[in-house]
Amino acid sequence: MTSPFRLLVIADVHYAATAEDAAGAPARRDCHAGRELLRRAVDDAVVRGGVDAVALLGDLLNGGDTPSAEATLAALRNEIRVVLPETPILLVPGNHDGDAARALTVFGTRPGLHEIGGYRFLVFADAYDAGDRCMRSEADARLLDRIGRTFGGPIVVLQHNPVWPPIDDPYPFTLTGADTLVRDYAHAGVTLSVSGHFHAGQPLSTREGMQFLTAPALCEAPFRYALVTLEGSRVSVETRSLQLPESPPLVDSHCHTEFAYCAADVTGPRVVERGRKMGLAGVCLVEHAPQLYMDADDFFTGQHVPHPELWRTNDTSRMAAFRRTIEPLRSPTVRIGLEVEMDREGRMTLHDEDREWPDLLVGAVHFIGEDLKEVSRARLLSLFMKSTEGLLGAGVDILAHPWRIFRWARQPIPTELFAPVADVLRATGTAAEINLHGNAPDLDFFALCVARGVKIALGSDAHCLHEVGTIGPHLDILRQAAGTDDVAPLLLFQS
């Protein structure tokens, strides 16, 4: 049997890179966040199982007639391509996108027929009149008829304006001549029609044996996109919200700040703001203690493990600056923490004076003091367990990304250590972190943790703003591991 085909559907981004681009937009339309929301949607779809193609259903821009439009389109294209460099993109120009040919050129695509994965995708670039009424050209109607008479697999049509069902609104959301188009689609043997434009969206509906979907707008809370799964003529749709649910209240336990050498565009205040926007009940601003104590080059080569004197001296310490900048952000919903490791002498990389003021300590095994390319399997297992047991015994609150170092070493995850680590977590009252930042958390390990009563922390490990609060997939993993949707009692942070 052919594998299901997964189509990522994103509609109505309405991105505005400048104030001019956002002019006239209603307040509910979060235009300035459009680029970030697009990246979040792509990342979310990829981490939840991947996609075979991306359909952009128009109104990528809010102001397509401004001088910055082409550069803004290119920025959106790049956000997709950095994650999905080769995945086919199907682009439907919308009424806000300005010149349709320009948008298609920037994305390197075209209207018309695209044959992907055994399906025929027919992309329409419809025209608009001065009253924003959308019309299908005679040439496109003939193209549909011709494709319908040619055998080649199920047909999926993509357009900006909905065709069905009707929308009761004085604004002309629906394509002109929609009833005729429905008959044309039925005659051609269309399987699925997918549209955008109507920001509330419309769920999958059926008429004359065809399925119709109107995808909701990405630009309005709760920032939704759709994942369409095709299995021959069978169609299923999952609409996903990037904004997190109110229940259970979720805390992102692992967000970095501008003090991380490995940070991109995060800052403490911006992380807090993004957390609120994305529906978090709280955030933890957590910084690498060795990075605050040391130079970047020494940290990234792991010198603090074999050479403890590098972190124990205060010659280059930025800890005081970190505290001055980040501690004022502390509140009932904002915790401040430090990420610590173990050096070769079995000491946690934290000065005595920095043990009491953080709200939490996050323990991690990033380095073992030996070359990961050369270390033997037995040696790595031994050093990993020594560091892990040392961290948990020293009193950290969370064990971060427990098995990441094995992926860095290109070695199999040691399933034989799942039970011993879970036992030490239980004995020390330490939470285990579900972390997808360069990790693929193992369900069996977290199932063991849940069975042993180990609390679970959900951490994005955000180094970029578009990563803050991206813990919906983490919640899914916990629910799978626990075998229940009621996971609130399992979480380290209840609010």
Q: Are residues 408 and 262 both part of a single domain?
A: yes
User: Do the domain assignments include residue 479?
Assistant: yes
Residue 1: pLDDT band by 50, 70, 90 thresholds? very low
- Both tokens of 255, joined, read 């967000």
Residue 8: pLDDT band by 50, 70, 90 thresholds? very high
- Both tokens of 189, joined, read 């043997």
Q: Of 437, 438, 432, 436, whose CA–CA distance to 482 is shortest?
A: 432
| Tens of pLDDT, residues 23-49 | 889 999 999 999 999 999 999 999 999
User: Do the domain assignments include residue 108?
Assistant: yes
Q: Are residues 69 and 212 both part of a single domain?
A: yes
Average pLDDT over residues 343-367: 96
Q: Are residues 222 and 258 both part of a single domain?
A: no
Q: Are residues 174 and 271 both part of a single domain?
A: no
Residues 150-181: b if buried by 16+ CB within 10 A, e if exposed: eeebbbbbbbbbbbbeebeeeebbbbbebeeb
Q: Say what the pTM is.
A: 0.95
| Tens of pLDDT, residues 205-217 | 999 999 999 999 9
CA distance 383 to 317: 27
Q: Are residues 48 and 151 both part of a single domain?
A: yes
Average pLDDT over residues 321-341: 98
pLDDT of residue 353: 95
| Tens of pLDDT, residues 422-475 | 999 999 999 999 999 987 888 999 999 999 999 999 999 999 999 999 999 999
pLDDT of residue 466: 97
Domain boundary residue among 193, 218, 241? 241
Residue 262's CATH number: 3.20.20.140
Residue 219's CATH number: 3.60.21.10
- Tell me, what amino acid is at 319? M
Residue 151: pLDDT band by 50, 70, 90 thresholds? confident
Residue 298: pLDDT band by 50, 70, 90 thresholds? very high
User: Do the domain assignments include residue 476?
Assistant: yes
User: Do the domain assignments include residue 160?
Assistant: yes
Contact between 452 and 426 under an 8 Å Cβ cutoff? The reply is: yes
Q: Are residues 272 and 214 both part of a single domain?
A: no
pLDDT of residue 192 exceeding 60:
yes
Number of structural domains (the chain) is 2
DSSP codes joined into one string, 241-256: ESSPPSSS--EEEEE-
Q: Are residues 155 and 261 both part of a single domain?
A: no
Domain boundary residue among 208, 241, 274? 241
- Both tokens of 278, joined, read 């994305």
User: Do the domain assignments include residue 477?
Assistant: yes
Average pLDDT over residues 47-67: 95
Phi, psi of 175 (to 5 degrees): -55, 140
Query: Mapped to the 3 state alphabet, what secondary structure does 83-142 carry?
Result: CCCCCCEEECCCCCCCCHHHHHHHCCCCCEEEEECCEEEEECCCEECCCCCEECCHHHHH
Q: Are residues 229 and 164 both part of a single domain?
A: yes
User: Do the domain assignments include residue 97?
Assistant: yes
Domain span holding position 49? 5-241
Interior CA angle at 261 toward 260 and 267, to 5°?
40
Q: Of 39, 32, 30, whose CA–CA distance to 10 is shortest?
A: 39
DSSP codes joined into one string, 406-465: HHHTT----GGGHHHHHHHHHHHTPEEEEE-SS----HHHHHHHHHTT--EEEE--BSSG
User: Do the domain assignments include residue 246?
Assistant: no
Q: Are residues 332 and 220 both part of a single domain?
A: no
Tell me, what DSSP letter sits at residue 43? H
- Tell me, what amino acid is at 177? G
User: Do the domain assignments include residue 325?
Assistant: yes
Looking only at the bridges linking them, the beta strands covering 456-459 and 431-435 are: parallel
pLDDT of residue 92: 98
Domain boundary residue among 241, 269, 290? 241
Taken in order 192, 197, 203, 209, is the CA torsion positive or negative? negative
Phi-psi category of 49—alpha, beta or left, where left has phi over 0 and alpha has psi -120 to 50?
left
> Residue 265, Cβ neighbours under 10 Å: how many?
11
pLDDT of residue 323 exceeding 50:
yes
Instruction: Express as a percent the part of the chain with pLDDT over 70.
Output: 100
> Residue 451, Cβ neighbours under 10 Å: how many?
13
Q: Are residues 452 and 432 both part of a single domain?
A: yes
Beta strands in 196-340 (DSSP E): 202-207, 210-214, 224-231, 234-241, 251-255, 282-288, 334-340
Contact between 436 and 474 under an 8 Å Cβ cutoff? The reply is: yes
Q: Which residues contact 138 (CB under 8 A, 6 or more apart)?
A: none
CA distance 444 to 450: 10
Q: Are residues 290 and 187 both part of a single domain?
A: no
Average pLDDT over residues 383-394: 97
Q: Are residues 233 and 260 both part of a single domain?
A: no
